[in-house]
Chain A
Amino acid sequence: MKILVCVKQVPHVEGIAVKQDIDGMATLEALGAFRMNHFDEFAVEQAIHLKESMDEVHVDVITVGPEQAAHVLKRAIGMGGDEGIHLLTSTDADPAPELVAAWIAEFARSRGYDLILCGSMSEDSMCGQVGPMAAALLDLPYATQVIGMQLTRDPTGVSIEREIEGGARELVFISLPALLALQPGINMPRYPSLSNLLRANRQALEIIPTHTLEPSRAQVHCLGFQLPAHERASQVITGSAVEKAAQMAEILKAKALI
């Protein structure tokens, strides 16, 4: 069985500094280190888990991004992936999901994958579109927000549970080859092992510059960022920590909440 896992490198969201510009827009600066998108860790883990529980499973890991994105491929190989494929972009800009999906689909089309796994969205752009778009371009059946999966024994299909509103789960049977976008909680992602990390450092990645792929055009464009509006009073309590606690207690008392 051949599995392709799609991973993305993202900035540490908590470490994003936001600066308000005079024109109402906001500038973002990534202060922390870049890392593997949290959602994608579950996809890598699921692939490695399948590799451990069945014979003859091969796990390729693919990413789209600038040179430094190679780190997430190494991490995925460190977790137990076999090969890394880097669709190398020439800028640091986050390409639109339709471009990423088109590039991944073009790469995957001739490689005969039985299963393509990805995370349900990325922490930075939060689009959740690459998976379903790539599936459509490859004409594969797919499911998103997958929180449980069980391959048939042959394996020609997969029974999945996908999360819907209110914590209920929808059960769907999907024939292979297929693409699944996984939800956090489907497994417990492991840490990379030292021996695998050493192998990842020695091993060459397959590097494909995106400009050598079929040209495609982004249809949606991110013009920039804005600070969100306050939905409520958002009154900020000031003072020392003890003073803040005292004020909070007074507010609770005044509202008869304690």
Chain B
Amino acid sequence: MAESVDIMLITSCNLGRVDPGIYDLIAFGQRLQGLGAGTMGIWILGEDVDAAAQDMAERVGIRVTAVQGAGLAHYLNEAFCGVISREMEAVNPTFVCAAHTSRGWEWAPALAARMGAGCLCAVDGMVESQGRLCFQRDVYGGKVKGLYTSDAATTVITVQPGVFKFEPPAVSPPPAAVTRKQATLQTGRTRYGGVKQAAGDTSHITSAPIIVAVGNGIGDQKNMALIHRLARLFPRAEVAGSRIICDRGWLGYNRQVGVTGATVSPALYLACGISGASQHVTGMREAKFVIAINTDPRAPMFNEADICIVEDIIHFIPLIEDACAPLVNSTDQAFSDQRTN
């Protein structure tokens, strides 16, 4: 029964659909294997996982354990920790991996503490250094990466989404086996109460071809006018912001870009005074072209930018306006004025 699995990948299944984040985890697991780790197995938790588990095992050729039960229809950390800890005891893996989502980040550290395992969250890189397997993760707002090792027998890792890319195999792998298990749950102390959808409609920023995004570097609410003026230089641009700007009420939450906001992929992302913490970058990584303006030459936003400008946006935005004025297409300008006025 306790077949040897060195890397446990944990995911969930909702309404018959496996969380697509599983592919990032497989890519992460393959990297671990490239650095010496052993067999990989996928655990899918949910209410009715059967068909999805079968499909996954056939598609990726990795052994799948389907853990199902009515109590797993919705996520509760109590249920997830309980189920995964029992599976961990049976398997005794070196690594337990989950996506670094609001849920994975909630249950993984508790699972590690309960099982006496090591824990690393938001891992986005892996290197071998002096014969040791090291994991990288953002620290200090993404200004630098911390390099970590674990000497625990088992390490629970949450993997930053969108970093490790899964390459579908050129030839279909032979289908792997599926093991089915019924979950026994103890969830006396927490009760799921539903999901409340995001308050505002974010379609204006998710569909905008140009986004002028503002961060903490704007300093004061009165400077927000500069950002709106900058956006007016462009045809069909929308203003968006980082978390802190929305928390302060300077922009509505429906204009927040990042993990807890919208994910955007405009032709131009103009990041004004945004430091570029991973929570923000996750929401704009797919932008086609990125210009970042920031006073701090070490701002992590610059690593995500095509063009980097070390300036204070408060002084620099009027200069952009002056420089662009003679170049702006007059019809577009008329369109833009009409729309924003």
Q: CB within 8 Å of B: which residues of A?
A: 13-14, 16, 18, 25-26, 28, 97-98, 101, 123-129, 131-137, 141-145, 159, 161-175, 178, 183-185, 219-237, 241-242, 244-246, 248-253, 255, 257-258
Contact = CB atoms under 8 A, between A and B. Distances in A.
Contacts, number: 274
B311 A125 contact: no
Interface string B297-311: 010101111111111
A250 B300 CA distance: 25
22 contacts: A98-B119, A129-B112, A136-B111, A136-B113, A142-B77, A143-B77, A143-B190, A164-B260, A169-B195, A170-B193, A171-B192, A174-B191, A220-B118, A224-B147, A226-B147, A229-B303, A231-B285, A232-B290, A232-B305, A234-B308, A235-B308, A253-B327
Contact of B324 (A137, A232, A252): A252
Nearest to A125: B139
Interface residues of B, number: 105
A44 B150 CA distance: 32
Given A219-B118, A219-B151, A220-B149, A167 B140 contact: no
Contact of B113 (A98, A162, A167, A255): A98
A202 B113 CA distance: 37
B90 interface: no
B259 interface: yes
A142 B110 contact: yes
Contacts of A28: 140, 144
Contact of B102 (A144, A220, A242, A257): A144
Nearest to A216: B116
Contacts of A25: 147
Contact of A174 (B75, B190, B296): B190
A220 B306 contact: no
Contact of B316 (A145, A221, A241): A241
Contacts of B78: 141
B45 to A, nearest CB: 16
A97 to B, nearest CB: 7
A96 to B, nearest CB: 9
Contacts of A142: 77, 110
Given A165-B102, A172-B191, A220-B148, 7 more contacts: A13-B143, A144-B105, A166-B261, A219-B118, A228-B143, A244-B316, A257-B289
Nearest to B277: A126
Given A16-B140, A132-B109, A170-B75, A161 B145 contact: no
A161 B260 contact: no
A173 B187 CA distance: 11
Nearest to A135: B110
Contacts of A127: 109, 121
Given A124-B139, A171-B195, A219-B152, A162 B319 contact: no
A241 B295 CA distance: 12
A140 B40 CA distance: 32
B238 interface: no
Nearest to A161: B196
B13 to A, nearest CB: 17
B70 to A, nearest CB: 17
A220 B119 contact: yes
A165 B259 contact: yes
B319 A14 contact: no
A228 to B, nearest CB: 5
B263 interface: yes
Contacts of B189: 141, 174-175, 178
Interface string B9-37: 00000000000000000000000000000
Contacts of A125: 139, 146
Residue of A14, A101, A145, A250 contacting most chain B CB atoms (<10 Å): A14
B136 interface: yes
A173 B305 CA distance: 42
A7 to B, nearest CB: 18
Contacts of B267: 257
Interface in B169-203: 188-200, 202
A255 B270 CA distance: 14
B194 A171 contact: yes
Nearest to B285: A231
B68 interface: no
A40 B114 CA distance: 24
A141 B192 CA distance: 13
Contact of B196 (A129, A137, A145, A171): A171
B337 interface: no
A128 B112 CA distance: 13
Contacts of A234: 302-303, 305-306, 308
Given A13-B143, A141-B190, A98 B112 contact: yes
Contacts of A159: 193
Nearest to B233: A258
Contacts of A124: 139-140
B310 to A, nearest CB: 7
B95 interface: no
Contacts of B235: 258
